């Protein structure tokens, strides 16, 4: 079957499986993510959403299955430090910041050179600072730039993770076009939610594939072009949010928890 390059998924997973001591957290999952779209992943707690992202981004080793990046690169095993070069970046559900570092350094560290030598003899300090200012202003944390990350409020911490993702897009590693957001709205105040939805729409309009794990169905409806529903590590349903969220089995999976 001949596919137009525009319609080709930017990331496909084939039979991805990951188990923890007999529990199949992700079981033979084959799903696609498309560029310029926001793809929602929903499912009850423990259904394997975070585990899926963790395997795709090399944070935990995969048992079996493979992923195909941009229709070309087939990967069985991906190491954490390589995922950026395949164009992927992410946030963490359990916010992982560089706690005892200033906010600005949390951003600068992902902007600067990856090679040791170039990092020692940094040539683009001013440029990186400019980019850091831009992304921190976007999430409203520029005023907090000299605070240690650990002193931020919970919502600010989540926003800093979003800013770090934006910084990754500016860094020289890979062409970041696949962005995983693991429950980015959890615990945010309404005005912060507005910032994050704004960023997500912007990323989508820039042609990035944005993958959103979220429990708030209003946000899922508002943002997603396509959703996947996971249950016990397996795919329960997929499709347009309006259709899928009306399905009986989907509602039951959620009510059942």
- The residues binding other proteins (CB under 8 A) are 57-59, 79-85, 89-90, 92, 96-101, 105-106, 108-110, 112-114, 116, 118-122, 125, 128, 164, 168, 171, 173-174
Q: Which of the residues 32 through 91 are near ligand ADP (CB under 6 A)?
A: 43, 45-51
Q: Which of the residues 21 through 80 are near Mg ion (CB under 5 A)?
A: 50
Binding-site partner at residue 240 among Mg ion, other proteins, ligand ADP, none, CB < 5 to 8 Å by type: none
Instruction: Calculate the CA dihedral of residues 189, 194, 196, 202 and round it to 10 degrees.
Output: 180
Distance of CA 206 to the CA centre of its chain: 16
Q: Which is nearer to other proteins, 162 or 244 (CB)?
A: 162
CB of 81 to other proteins, least distance (A): 5
User: Total number of residues binding ligand ADP (CB under 6 A)?
Assistant: 11
Residue range at the interface with Mg ion (CB under 5 A); choices 6-14, 85-93, 147-155, 246-254 = 85-93
Q: Which is nearer to Mg ion, 39 or 50 (CB)?
A: 50
Cα torsion angle, 115, 116, 117, 122, sign: positive
- Which 8-state DSSP code applies to residue 185? T
Binding-site partner at residue 98 among other proteins, ligand ADP, Mg ion, none, CB < 5 to 8 Å by type: other proteins
Partner residues linked to 234 by β-bridges: 231
What is the Cα–Cα distance from 33 to 234, expressed in whole angstroms?
A: 17
DSSP 231-245: ETTEEEEEE-HHHHT
Q: Alpha helix locations (H) across 139-246? A: 154-170, 190-205, 217-223, 241-244
CB of 94 to other proteins, least distance (A): 10
Query: How many C-beta neighbours within 10 Å does residue 172 have?
Result: 12
What is the Cα–Cα distance from 62 to 113, expressed in whole angstroms?
A: 29
User: Total number of residues binding Mg ion (CB under 5 A)?
Assistant: 2
Binding-site partner at residue 23 among ligand ADP, Mg ion, other proteins, none, CB < 5 to 8 Å by type: ligand ADP
Tokens of 143: 């005023």
Binding site for ligand ADP (CB under 6 A): 20, 23, 25, 43, 45-51
């Amino acid at each position: 079957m001949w596919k137009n390059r525009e319609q080709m998924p930017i990331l496909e997973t084939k039979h991805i499986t990951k188990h923890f001591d007999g529990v199949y957290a992700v079981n033979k999952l084959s799903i696609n993510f498309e560029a310029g779209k926001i793809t929602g992943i929903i499912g009850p707690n423990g259904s394997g959403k975070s585990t899926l992202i963790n395997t795709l981004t090399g944070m935990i080793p995969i048992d079996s299955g493979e992923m195909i990046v941009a229709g070309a690169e087939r990967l069985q095993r991906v190491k954490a430090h390589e995922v950026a070069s395949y164009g992927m970046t992410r946030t963490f559900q359990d916010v992982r910041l560089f706690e005892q570092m200033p906010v600005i350094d949390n951003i600068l560290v992902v902007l600067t050179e990856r090679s040791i030598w170039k990092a020692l003899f940094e040539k683009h300090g001013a440029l990186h600072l400019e980019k850091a200012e831009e992304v921190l202003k976007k999430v409203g944390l520029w005023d907090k730039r000299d605070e240690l990350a650990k002193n931020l409020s919970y919502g600010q911490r989540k926003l800093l993770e979003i800013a770090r993702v934006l910084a990754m897009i500016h860094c020289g590693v890979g062409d970041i076009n696949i962005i995983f957001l693991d429950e980015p709205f959890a615990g945010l105040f309404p005005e912060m939610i507005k910032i994050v939805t704004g960023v997500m729409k912007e990323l989508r309009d820039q042609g990035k594939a944005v993958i959103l794990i979220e429990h708030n169905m209003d946000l899922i409806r508002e943002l997603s072009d396509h959703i996947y529903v996971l249950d016990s590590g397996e795919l329960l349903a997929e499709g347009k949010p309006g259709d899928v969220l009306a399905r009986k089995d989907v509602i039951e999976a959620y009510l059942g928890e």
